[in-house]
Each structure stands twice: as structure tokens, then as C-alpha cells.
Amino acid sequence: MHTMPHWSGAARACITGIFTDIDDTLTTDGAITPDALQALSNLKAAGLQIVAITGRPVGWSEPFALAWPLDAIVAENGAVALRRNASGGLDRLYQQDAATRATNFARMQQVLAHIEASIAGARRATDSAGRETDIAIDHSEFAHLSEAQIDKVVLAMRHEGMHATVSSIHINGWYGEHNKLEGARWIVRELWGRDLDAEMDRWAYVGDSTNDALMFQAFDNSVGVANIARFVPHLSHLPRYVTQGERGAGFAEVARAVLASRQRTS
């Protein structure tokens, strides 16, 4: 990982859109900080497209999709998206049809109950009631699991044929081929009718944990906020750059860097 001064001004000046994680990237201690919220506003005012991609549930994401200056939130690791509609409300977009979601939901509830019953300390995340397409076990939000316990949960999910990833707070499991990267490709098609892979150099990604590894690999303009240091030993792919600031302060640092380069070329 390189420090932010190594991110070339020419590359930053080409950025027209930013994907960002939410927990411990936009938020600090569970809430968005004023500097991160102002950074989002400044990016939108400059004409950038902003999409948050999170492992959080769609129900949890609704108030933020309404309140924050974003084009969309892609929730549950790429499965479902929220976007504002013309009446000021929210539309839900899904990658799976209703029948598939219902079948998978029933299977996942059985896996969730089994994990809670068989792995000491494993408890469903407190936001589970808002989840439609995945399950989550809390490891660092309100509970604390050791690395060994986290590994057991991941293995249990994968044993049941699920995909499993670890965020800064939860262990998420789901059925289906979606993930954060596929969710990014999907939402660019849905919102703007474009091919993300054809314009990767115009997008940046900002994240903080192991469930961001695919995004770090895919985006040359990938940035980890400084608190990513906790997960570096577990990351299959590192971000190209790392901020000096942690969490929301780190995101604000990214926004300032992008906007400064755009202003110099305008």
C-alpha cells in the first residue's frame, strides 16, 4: 500500500465516481461524522456519482439512502439496492427474483439457527430483522468473537454452500453469485446503462476490511482508510493507497484529494 501522496494527480483528476463502504469507512463509532458527510456533499456538488456498497441490511440502509447525498446504496453485499424515486421515496432493486429470495431466505434461517446453537458465542447481528438476502453474525459491533470463532462461523457457512465474508463488524453469509464487485457492476448498469469495466479508471473505491478485497483488486484507484491496518494480515488483496486518517476522517481525506486534482485541471 502506498500513502496518499503517491496517488497521481492525473489519476485523481479522471475520477468521476466513487464507491464506498459504510461501516468504519464513512462512519466512526457507528455514526457518520460531519467531515465525512460534508465530503459526500462536496463530491456530489462537484458532479461525481457516489454509491455506498455495504454488507448491512437493506432495512438498516433506508434512512441513510434518504438522508445522505448518494446516488444509491447497494446493501447486503451486492444483492439489493436503494435509490430515490421521483416522489422522494425509495425504490428497491434486486439481483434475485422473489421466488429465489424466498427459497434462499428459508435455507439461511436454518443455517443461522444452527450456527447460533453450535458455535460458542455466535449470535446473529442486531440488524438481522432488516435482512432479506443474507445472514450476519456479530463479531465486533456489540459482541466480540476471537479469530478462531470467526473462522468457525465462516467455515460453517461455507459448509452449507454459502458465500461468506468478514466485514469490520459482521460475518455475512448468502446464497447467490453476487458480491460487492458484482453489485457495483450491476448498479452502474441499472442507474446509468453503462459498463463499469469499460470505465474503471474513472472510479475509485474506499474501504476498510476483508470483505472489500475484491474491490481493492478490481480498482486501480482503491483506497483503504487507515484502520484497515487491523485486517491487512487477512486480506487477499490490499488497496493501492491508504489514508492517514481513520474511518470518516480517512474518507474525507480521499474526497479532498480527488476534488483538489479536479479543480487544478478545470
Average pLDDT, integer, range 57-84: 96
Longest dimension (CA), the chain: 59
pLDDT in the model for residue 264? 75
Kindly report the CA angle at 74 between 68 and 76, in degrees rounded to 5?
120
CATH numbers and ranges of domains, the chain: 2-95+178-265 (3.40.50.1000), 98-174 (3.90.1070)
Cα–Cα distance between 217 and 65 in angstroms, integer? 27
Condensed to tens digits (0 to 9), the pLDDT of residues 86-123 reads: 999 999 999 999 999 999 999 999 999 999 999 999 99
DSSP 26: T
pLDDT in tens, 123-151: 999 999 999 999 999 999 999 999 999 99
Mean pLDDT for the chain? 96
Cell numbers 432493486 correspond to 93
Reading the block at residue 219, the C-alpha cell is 480498482
Q: Are 65 and 59 in contact (CB under 8 A)?
A: no
Contacts of 159 (CB under 8 A, 6+ apart): none
What sign has the CA pseudo-torsion 147, 148, 150, 155? Answer: positive
User: 151 vs 122, 144, 157, 169, 215, CA distance in Å?
Assistant: 11, 13, 10, 14, 22
